[in-house]
Structure 1
Amino acid sequence: MLTPELHTALADAVRRALTAVTTPEAEPGERGSVGEVGPYYPNAYRFFTEFLAPAYRRKTVDYPAMRWCPSWFCHPEARARVDALWRAWEYLRLDPATGMSVWWKDHADHHMAKLLSPDGTFKDCTPHHRQVHPLPSIDIPTELLNLDDAHPATERS
């Protein structure tokens, strides 16, 4: 007979099994305090090497519709986007329902389209790597650089 206690125990066992199947296991030493799981990949570079590059296969050599630089980590925008992809992946991997779908749709597809665009991050890069110039800007006044938007010096009306 299925008692309420047995029903609860079975439901908990199913939840644990689903989580074990859908969430990659953390490496030894990656667990934080009780109930807290550390990152699966220690940094964005390992995430790129071990997950993103093998998973996101595209023809980029001698193919003008997509541009990629093998020295991608030398480009600040590429580093920032891969870091954003890694952080979002680490957060969403813990959602056993739609986490990975959301990651692919809202993060990977978005950032990779920007990175691989013929007019994107690597537009002027050559096969031997050439750093592109940052956005032009005059020197920003020191008082603007020192603003702390989280703690404004003056009250806003």
Structure 2
Amino acid sequence: MTSPESGDESAAGDWGTVLTELIQLRADRANLTARIRELDDRVEDIAGALDAIEDAAAAPPSTSVPDDDTEPDDTAAASTAAPEPAVEPDAGLDMRELVPWVRDHIAQLLERRLPQNQGALRWCRSWWLHPEAIARFDALRRSWTEAISAGEGNALVTYYDYLDRQLAVLMDEHGPFSACQGGQHGTERFVTKLGQHDPPPEYFFALDDQLDHL
């Protein structure tokens, strides 16, 4: 990974934070993918068991005695065959893939009048220094990929509506790019993480008690 251009000292100062956020985003996405895959496997197993029960209940009782010389049923053989190999889960966030995608599908495609001073509409040509922008653009790339794969007439229209809403947040005067004037990465930070105060353990115990009485 190359370092930011000399002269942009603020960009160099942001690298540690960005790398930490990237590692966390990648780990979170991998964990979520693994949990979704495990849930899908459980749902598929349950659905298969229910189908087998319904088939057994609907089938008429058999009174014929099978012949020992009869060849085994192909259906039964197929049911004991080895399962198909599982599709590999998404590897997660890949900046080498995301950076050119944003360049081609957003930065070099969309046109806006960028204020050079204190205007509300902001953009950062070094968006990869903003963790929130990375997360939102990765979500947009996945949405675009699904729209292209679907091949439906309204799929891309839905994607562009989603794109407009994501850009509105990023480019808002209170958003991640609020300190970036004229497309240049800002030397000040006007934003901060929203933060969260975690509840005490008693909070969860009280919820569990309420659920037990429902």
Residue 117 of structure 2 corresponds to residue 117 of structure 1? no
What is aligned with 2:160?
104
Give the CA RMSD over aligned residues. Answer: 3.2
How far off is 1:61 after superposition? Answer: 4.1
Structure-2 change in CA distance of 1:59 and 1:103 (3 Å): same
The TM-score with structure 2 as length reference comes to 0.42
What is aligned with 2:111?
57
More helix by proportion, 1 or 2? 2
CA distance in 1, matches of 2:185, 2:106: 22
Residue 134 of structure 2 corresponds to residue 75 of structure 1? no
CA distance in 1, matches of 2:128, 2:185: 14
| Code of the aligned partner of 1:99 | A
| Code of the aligned partner of 2:134 | R
> Larger radius of gyration, structure 1 or 2?
2
- Unaligned 5+ residue runs, structure 2? 1-89, 91-95, 202-210
CA distance in 2, matches of 1:52, 1:95: 21
CA distance in 2, matches of 1:110, 1:89: 14
Residue 150 of structure 2 corresponds to residue 91 of structure 1? no
4+ residue stretches of structure 1 with deviation over 3 A? 124-128
CA distance in 2, matches of 1:51, 1:43: 12
CA distance in 1, matches of 2:108, 2:166: 16
Equivalent pairs, count: 109
Q: Percent identity?
A: 28
Q: Can you list the C-alpha shifts for 1:111-154, whole angstroms capped at 9, x where unaligned?
A: 0111111222222446452444222345x48x8xxxxxxxxxxx
CA distance in 2, matches of 1:128, 1:58: 17
- Unaligned 5+ residue runs, structure 1? 1-37, 144-155
CA distance in 1, matches of 2:99, 2:146: 17
